[in-house]
Structure 1
């Protein structure tokens, strides 16, 4: 299992938006791109997907930009990954029916691994990530 660049960049953008959520501030694409070192054009596409899926909203005007559509405590990492990858990881995607006992065993273990991964991803929210980031930043400041 590998985290794609698309999903990683989307999570980074969502993390920045989650940081601004308590203040009600919006962030523009160029601000998010600069903060997380994401190419502007690529970020535009990712944000458009996140908006279509209802995780973020766009605000028009001079002070416009993007904001989270919901509280960061209600958006899970699984929500973000499902949005970007189009996966419903709980349901296998058109996998061929195993025709041997060995194939069935392998598929059962793989399905169990996917379910375990989903449980972990569903357990963590954007708010959790923000809190972890703040905690790590404090640790770094302490050691410097």
Structure 2
């Protein structure tokens, strides 16, 4: 008796990109993240690192996250390898900026009702990258 085509095959993995709702969901998360950064006094030092208008920052984070989360590689198509640390070296990033970035993203995920298990997994990954971006003490 032959096995059917689906037997023994691993179920396809749903990417974080898909779990967040694809480009629409990622864009909503990124926009909420930057809205919080722009409006909440708790994120003032983080906001100060950004240009007066956040449109370019919004687009770059959206493009990056799409690929990083398992969707299209919009960022790489436009700019090549992300080289995140090198691209962030001109900005003084310490513990405070890292922690504000994390708090802002965690709040954005909570406000956007991201599944708690996914949000926790993403926060762990975000923290590793955010900590790696630090280039000053304190």
Q: Which protein has the bigger strand share?
A: 1
TM-score past 0.5 threshold: no
Normalised TM-score (structure 1): 0.29
TM-score, normalising length from structure 2?
Answer: 0.30
